Amino acid sequence: MAALQLPWFCIHVLATAAASQSLTTDTKSENPVTVVCVNQTRDQEMNNLRQQLNQETTIRLSLTRQMYSLVDDMITMKKQMEKMEAKVQEMEKKNNDGEQYLKLNSTGDQTAMQISQIQRDLLNLTLTVDTVCSDDTSIEKRAVVFNAAISNTLNFQFNTPVNVVYDSVLYQTGNAYNPRNGFFTAPSGGLYIFSWSTLVAPNKIFDAELLVNGQRKGLGNCNNEGNPSYGNCANTIPIVLKFKDEVNIRTNTANYIHGNHWSSFKGWKV
Residue where a domain terminates, one of 88, 111, 139: 139
Q: Distance of alpha carbon 94 from its chain centroid, rounded? A: 55
pLDDT of residue 57: 79
Same domain for 256 and 157, yes or no, is yes
Question: CA-CA-CA-CA torsion for 68, 73, 77, 79, nearest 10 degrees?
Answer: 50
Give φ, ψ of 137 to 5 degrees.
Answer: -100, 15
Instruction: Read off the pLDDT band of 142 (50, 70, 90).
Output: confident
Task: Look at phi and psi of residue 109 and say left if phi exceeds 0, alpha if psi is from -120 to 50, else beta.
Answer: alpha
Q: Which residue has the higher pLDDT, 113 or 217?
A: 217
* Per-residue CA distances from 157 to 127, 222, 234, 242, 256 (Å): 58, 16, 22, 33, 9
In a domain, 170, yes or no: yes
| Overall average pLDDT of the 171-192 stretch | 95
Q: How many domains does the chain have?
A: 2
CA dihedral 141, 70, 245, 172 (to 10 degrees): -30
When pLDDT is cut at 50, 70 and 90, the band that residue 146 belongs to is very high
Percent with pLDDT over 90 in the chain: 46
Residues 29-44: pLDDT tens digits?
A: 444 444 444 455 677 7
Residues ≥6 apart with Cβ < 8 Å to 200: 206, 222, 224, 230, 231, 232, 233, 256, 257, 258
Considering the domain architecture, whether residues 92 and 108 belong to the same structural domain is answered as: yes
CATH number of the domain residue 198 falls in: 2.60.120.40
pLDDT at 46: 79
- What is the pLDDT, as a whole number, of residue 246? 98
Domain span including residue 121:
74-139
- Same domain as 175, residue 80: no
The overall pTM is greater than 0.85: no
pLDDT at 134: 54
Q: What is the pLDDT of residue 10?
A: 46
